Amino acid sequence: MRAAPTILHLDMDAFFAAAEQASKPSLRGKPVVVGGLGPRGVVATASYEARRFGVHSAMPMAQARRLAPNAAYLVPRFAFYRAISGQVMELLGRLSPLVEPLSLDEAFVDLEAGGVADDSAGAREAGERLRREILAVTGLTGSVGLAGSKMLAKIASEEAKPDGLVLIEPGTERELLGQRSVRIIPGIGPATGEHLRRAGITTVAEVVEAGEDELVRLLGRAHGGSLYRMALGHDDRPVVAERDAKSVSVEDTFDVDLLDRLRIRLEVERLAERCVARLRSSGHSGRTIVLKVRRYDFSTLTRSETLRGPTDDPVVVREAAARLLDLVDTTGGVRLLGVGVSGLADYTQEDLFAQAEAGAARAGSGAGEGVAGAEELAAAVPAVPVVPEATERRWAAGHDVRHAVYGPGWVQGSGVGRVTVRFEEPGSAPGRVRTFPVDDPELEPSDPLPLVPGGATGAAAWPA
């Protein structure tokens, strides 16, 4: 615990939704919900206007629609959010070499390591300057917490929301935390909170009163001891500049349970290919292949296989994932599939390619069930009609487009062979809406436009 509040926690306000409102003039000041729009989609972020109706992150999208039927429901644009996040992280890097990103919109900063603050006044000045710079560069707002520990800095940023700054002076922790719910302490989720409630412990003060021995009895030595120290305000975790990735994974939730075994296998192969693409883009290889299957009854199974050495070969990962699928009973249907690679390294063991060739030979000879190629599986999947390419164009709600005549806009909705587009730009007035056939040759997907006219980010700088 530091003697000065020189650990800063930044949390951007309703980040995904705020970015959408900033880029779409017609949505400013209106309820916006970002997330998966399918029957099993969940809310990623809700604007503060939508939160007034009770919508919140991790809520099923169907429930959100019932609570706020007139909100704008948009599919996430992660490349867009990553670009904005990059701008924010660059500003944080100017404060200190010790920046610990937690997500696209959240990070810790060690102000003392950057030499920008060693007391409360300096920390507050740095925090206020950061908020002004974020607004100037991105047009978005962020909330800042300042304290002598990471736990308290995060609590302070929650208190600061939205668009504020809260500084917790060292020495005031016990008074601040006492009557708060135990859920305010990091690591205390719903299950642990309920376990403590049954023991008569609901506030942080009651955690302290119970004592370390009782908490260890209830939760185990590691968890109980950690909870007691944090309840006292003791948190010596340092800000870590580089957080090594432990795994790379991808998963898909399906609108309708998958029943056909061949279709399930095809989806696993596709996920394996996507996982390897992500693995390679991060500059890693991995030794352990993991398959995740959530069945029709919400039971979740994981299976793993550890290879002789790290690989980033899509054939090896695909075949390992298929072998793991053979170990799982999918009777009744599958609602979610995931493929991951862990045990990451920054090199590849070349002799694993021999394993891939051996696996291909086994499949080709018919020895055992083998692993069919994606093309063979695609041909074997029944009841999947071949659709002419012209009708396959899909327009995700909220994504950017450009029309040869009307210019830039975004998809407001689509269906029954039509797509509705609102033509407006970040710096314009709310635009007009027009509807086109989904295969209109003059309508094309587009890169996002910059949020701040005249800012450092131009259209060409945004990734597709």
Catalytic residues: 106
Residue 323 one-letter amino acid? R
Paired with 247 in beta bridges are 342
Question: What DSSP string runs through 244-268?
Answer: ---EEEEEEEEEEEE--HHHHHHHH
| Rg from Cα positions in the chain | 25
Whether 95 contacts 130, CB under 8 Å: yes
Rounded CA-CA distance 445/410 in Å is 9
Question: What DSSP string runs through 146-212?
Answer: EESSHHHHHHHHHHH-SS-EEE--TT-HHHHHTTSBGGGSTT--HHHHHHHHHTT--BHHHHHHH-H
Please return the burial class of 288, using the count of CB atoms within 10 Å of its CB with bins 0-12, 13-18 and 19+.
middle
Q: What is the rounded end-to-end Cα distance, in angstroms, of the chain?
A: 43
Residue 13's SS3 state is coil
Pairing of strands 400-403, 334-345: unpaired
Paired with 75 in beta bridges are none
Question: Where are the strands (E) in 296-431, listed by range?
Answer: 300-311, 334-345, 400-403, 407-415, 418-423
Residue for token pair 């659709």: 387
Pairing of strands 106-110, 99-103: antiparallel
Buried b (16+ CB within 10 A) or exposed e, 71-89: bbbbbbbeebbebbbebbe
Rounded CA-CA distance 123/129 in Å is 10
Residue 4 one-letter amino acid? A
Rounded CA-CA distance 6/117 in Å is 6
Paired with 70 in beta bridges are none
